[in-house]
Amino acid sequence: MLKFISFASGSSGNCYLLYTDNDGLLIDAGVGIRSLKKAMRDYHIHMQQVKHVIITHDHADHVKSVGSLSRELDVPVYTTREVHDGIFKNYCVTKKIEARNAHCIEKGKTINIGEFKITPFNVPHDSTDCVGYLVECQGVAFCIVTDVGVVTDEIKPFINKANYLVIEANHDEEMLKNGPYPDYLKSRILGTRGHLSNRQCGESLVENATPGLRHVWLCHLSEENNHPELARKTVEAILRNSGIVAGKDFMLEILKRKTPTGIFELK
């Protein structure tokens, strides 16, 4: 059985795990190694479950412990060449990934890593490079689209394929516009290489959800410019306007910013 757990999701750290009885794929390593170990202990998951790591992009909230984690567990880290370069240059990543564990993958090219069939795809964001992933395992398709300025035509086919989807609902546009952030930061977040708003998230679900979609998790919520309930209500309202009922057509859940969000069985 394929299982999913989110350890943290937001600007203070992102880290997710997909695992089976014999294999495990960590997606992003943006939480401290000690808190990751504690969370895994709390959920009775062994650190040895982590057999491979894939990285979306080189912002600190996604990579800060990737080097130490890869070294401690001696596990390979897969991402694009550009993201690897970005990780290497990122001063927040104090321990670097050993060369033999740094593996490059290419957007649009599917590779098999252990039990997982993985396809990275391009995502517009203001990092060195950024990818989303379609992960297929045990007949289930899991897709993650985070830190995305806009859902491009390139991304849509991957959402179409998803049975399980993690998608960004970063901010409420009004909260951001009227909030305390300086103007340059507001335009950065609102831009096409920034972050997805609740509205954009809802609209992309309306446009791209298929009957095969079973569960959606909203991720990377802003602490300053969003609230979990506001994100949920906004997305649910947009879905409802198009005749889609969250909780019936597919489950809709919000990932917590700093703590794990349960274990989900993906079947």
**Contacting residues toward Zn ion, per CB under 5 A:** 59, 61, 147
Q: Which is nearer to Zn ion, 115 or 147 (CB)?
A: 147
DSSP 179-205: SSS-HHHHHHHHSTTS--BHHHHHHHH
DSSP string across 38-97: HHHHHTT--GGG--EEE-SB-SHHHHTTHHHHHHHHT--EEE-HHHHHHHHH-TT--SPP
Alpha-carbon distance 149 to 130, whole Å?
A: 11
Contact yes or no for 52/26 (Cβ under 8 A)? yes
Q: Smallest gap, in angstroms, from Cβ of residue 204 to Zn ion?
A: 18
**Cα Rg of the chain, angstroms:** 17
Beta bridge partner(s), residue 40:
none
Helix (H, G, I), strand (E, B) or coil at 148: coil
| Min separation Cβ 53 and Zn ion, Å | 16
Structure tokens at 239: 């879905």
Smallest gap from residue 249 Cβ to Zn ion (A) = 28
Nearer to Zn ion, 55 or 205 (CB): 55
Instruction: Using alpha carbons, select from 247, 175, 235, 249 the residue that is nearest to residue 205.
Output: 235
Report the nearest approach of Zn ion to the CB of residue 62 (Å): 6
Kindly state the smallest distance separating residue 93's Cβ from Zn ion, in Å.
14
The residue (of 51 and 64) whose beta carbon lies closer to Zn ion is: 64
Cβ proximity to Zn ion: between 147 and 253 the closer is: 147
Minimum Å gap between C-beta 90 and Zn ion is: 12
Q: Which is nearer to Zn ion, 61 or 136 (CB)?
A: 61
Cβ closest to Zn ion, residue 3 vs residue 257: 257
Kindly give the pairing relationship between strand 15-19 and strand 24-27.
antiparallel
